[in-house]
A and B are shown apart, each in its own frame.
Chain A
Amino acid sequence: MAAGRGGSGANGAATSISCRAVSSGYLGTRVLKGITFEIDRPGIYVVLGPNGAGKTTLFRTLSGILEPYEGEVLIAGEPIDRPRARDRLHYLSHIDGMPDGLTVREALEFYARVERAAPADVDRVLERLELRPFADHFLARLSAGQKKRVSIARIFLREREIYLLDEPTANLDPRLAREIRTLILDLSREKIVLYSSHNLFEAREIGEYVLAIRAGALALFDRIENLRAARFVVGLRVLGPNDALAGYARQGEYYLRELPGPEAVPGLLRELEEKGVQLREVREMENPLEDLFT
């Protein structure tokens, strides 16, 4: 399965990820089984799957942490174990990766050293991620959200072509999660971003493509807009009760109505307006991505 045409990397070579019949796992136990896909177009690729499906293993394999038992991972045509291939990608694991005993500034200097970024980049990132007020605080004293922000800050130390982000907004409050999503959206304009998340609405909001992993195999790779839920149900929130909605099922504040598809929404709105229903909100109640978890 492949996505579109190629972008151009910093050194002129096309940026791409090729995962060719990759099987990998831990200590001989296979978690991924023969995964094949090719990504050569910038954008956000959401990796979805139930817990234990192999999402983290996929990220670890693509980043070169795990060596495949079979198959190969190529970054811009080069095997991932080559320094030039590694140097094209950023990897953010699902855990923070915070070194103990350091302040925020020292931690970023530690990352900058690993990344071979300049000291000035640390100041730039402190500013960009609004970390300057905590710069001299020890990591151990930060809240979980602040730690996550520091953890994410490291991917902004140096620009790379490919970003592998394993649940970057997990356990964050909605405001911070939104900020992080905005930063990632900024990043993705010219980059390939693989992004795993359990938040289906977030995935649908920012993703262009979806890679669904199920039991270690690639179950789907497609544009998110091509996915359709088994049922198309809209929820209507209204300003006041109305007899026209008497026969509707309820879910919390929402009146539910099943439609043949999104194209039927304008007709429904006209019908409700004619009946004097004052709408406050209309939303899709079933996310097609949910089907990928069943």
Chain B
Amino acid sequence: MTSPDPADAPPSLFGITVRRAITSGRVYLVLGCVFSSLFAVGLGFAAESFGGYGALLVPVYAALGGMGALMVFTSDRIKGVFEYLIAYGISPRRLFANVLGASCILVAIVLAVSMSVALLLSLGRGRPFPLSVTELLLGYSLPMSFASVAFAATVGMFWTSLSSPREGMNSPIGLVPILGVAPSLLTLIAAIATGRADSLALPGAAVLVVVLLVLLLLRFMERLMPRERLLSPT
């Protein structure tokens, strides 16, 4: 048996968390990729008439695709994996960071698939996206996708930790996709209501609000969620 130096930093579990998030959340990931690619097709074929709304819809499905990491969090808490990891010196902060990071990787996969589809279609047709759509994609779709999934993951971690295990839609996992898509869905509704789907002002403000909310939650994470909350309730 080996005897490593106990003073060494605990090992990184980020890679394995990402892999487990992909496995656990594969249905969400496939749904996210398929639907965001469909809207990317919309961007490619009908950019001028449909592009603004398409760009606004991308984060809805990107956030959905990132739910796997939160599923891992919920499962690990209930099944006592966190208890084990904390006993071996891995801090709750690192556990949160792993989940948050894995969520972002999943979103990056969804975005990479859908944006590649959009770009290939656009190049194939020889018609680049209008500038307003490109601005929306870069200034809203991409940051809002990451912000939404970070919001869902952070709120979901609090929610999961405050809850007893339940099945179905009442479980944290049942509700969190709704939380995850809420910011981008509300932004879409607001854009439709004000008729400003092609302007970056409203979506940009929404991104800022969500980012600030996530930062605020992260700031108080340790106070709101002491390590006892990570132990299995069973």
B4, B81, B86, B227: the one contacting A98 at CB < 8 Å is B81
Asked if A93 and B83 sit within 8 Å, CB to CB, the answer is yes
Asked if A158 and B80 sit within 8 Å, CB to CB, the answer is no
A113, A115, A117, A154: the one contacting B13 at CB < 8 Å is A113
**Residue of chain A at shortest CB distance from B83:** A93
Asked if B3 and A118 sit within 8 Å, CB to CB, the answer is no
A95 vs B79: C-alpha distance when bound (angstroms): 7
A101-B24, A114-B90, A121-B1 given; A87·B6 CB < 8 A: yes
Which A residues between 94 and 147 are near B, CB-CB below 8 angstroms? 95-102, 110, 113-118, 121
B7, B76, B90: the one contacting A99 at CB < 8 Å is B76
A102 vs B17: C-alpha distance when bound (angstroms): 11
User: What mask results when residues 41 to 77 of chain B are scored 1 for a CB within 8 Å of chain A, else 0?
Assistant: 0000000000000000000000000000001100110
A196 at the interface (CB under 8 A from B): no
**Residue of chain B at shortest CB distance from A56:** B231
B130 at the interface (CB under 8 A from A): no
**Residue of chain B at shortest CB distance from A116:** B4
Asked if A27 and B228 sit within 8 Å, CB to CB, the answer is yes
A65-B227, A84-B7, A114-B11 given; A97·B89 CB < 8 A: no
A99-B20, A101-B72 given; A117·B87 CB < 8 A: no
A93 vs B231: C-alpha distance when bound (angstroms): 10
User: What mask results when residues 1 to 26 of chain B are scored 1 for a CB within 8 Å of chain A, else 0?
Assistant: 11110111011010010011001100
A64 at the interface (CB under 8 A from B): yes
B170 at the interface (CB under 8 A from A): no
Asked if A97 and B20 sit within 8 Å, CB to CB, the answer is no
Asked if B84 and A97 sit within 8 Å, CB to CB, the answer is yes
B220 at the interface (CB under 8 A from A): no
Asked if B6 and A84 sit within 8 Å, CB to CB, the answer is yes
Asked if B80 and A93 sit within 8 Å, CB to CB, the answer is yes
How many residue pairs bridge A and B at CB < 8 Å?
A: 103
B11, B20, B229, B231: the one contacting A65 at CB < 8 Å is B231
B16, B20, B75, B83: the one contacting A113 at CB < 8 Å is B16
User: What mask results when residues 55 to 77 of chain A are scored 1 for a CB within 8 Å of chain B, else 0?
Assistant: 00000100111110000000000
By a CB distance below 8 angstroms, the chain B residues around A158 are 1-3
A267 at the interface (CB under 8 A from B): no
By a CB distance below 8 angstroms, the chain B residues around A154 are 84
**Residue of chain B at shortest CB distance from A164:** B87
A93-B80, A114-B11 given; A101·B20 CB < 8 A: yes
User: How far does the Cβ of B226 sit from chain A's closest Cβ, in whole Å?
Assistant: 7
User: How far does the Cβ of B142 sit from chain A's closest Cβ, in whole Å?
Assistant: 28
A91 vs B80: C-alpha distance when bound (angstroms): 12
A95-B79, A98-B81, A114-B11 given; A27·B226 CB < 8 A: yes
Asked if B24 and A100 sit within 8 Å, CB to CB, the answer is yes
B85 at the interface (CB under 8 A from A): yes
A273 at the interface (CB under 8 A from B): no
Q: What are 18 A-B contacts with C-beta separation under 8 Å?
A: A60-B87, A64-B87, A65-B86, A65-B227, A66-B228, A83-B6, A83-B8, A83-B89, A84-B6, A86-B6, A91-B87, A95-B232, A96-B80, A97-B83, A99-B75, A113-B11, A113-B16, A117-B1
Interface residues of A (CB under 8 A from B): 10, 26-27, 60, 63-67, 83-84, 86-87, 91, 93, 95-102, 110, 113-118, 121, 154, 157-159
Listed from nearest, the 8 A-B pairs whose CB atoms lie closest are: A87-B6, A95-B80, A101-B23, A116-B4, A97-B80, A91-B87, A97-B84, A63-B87
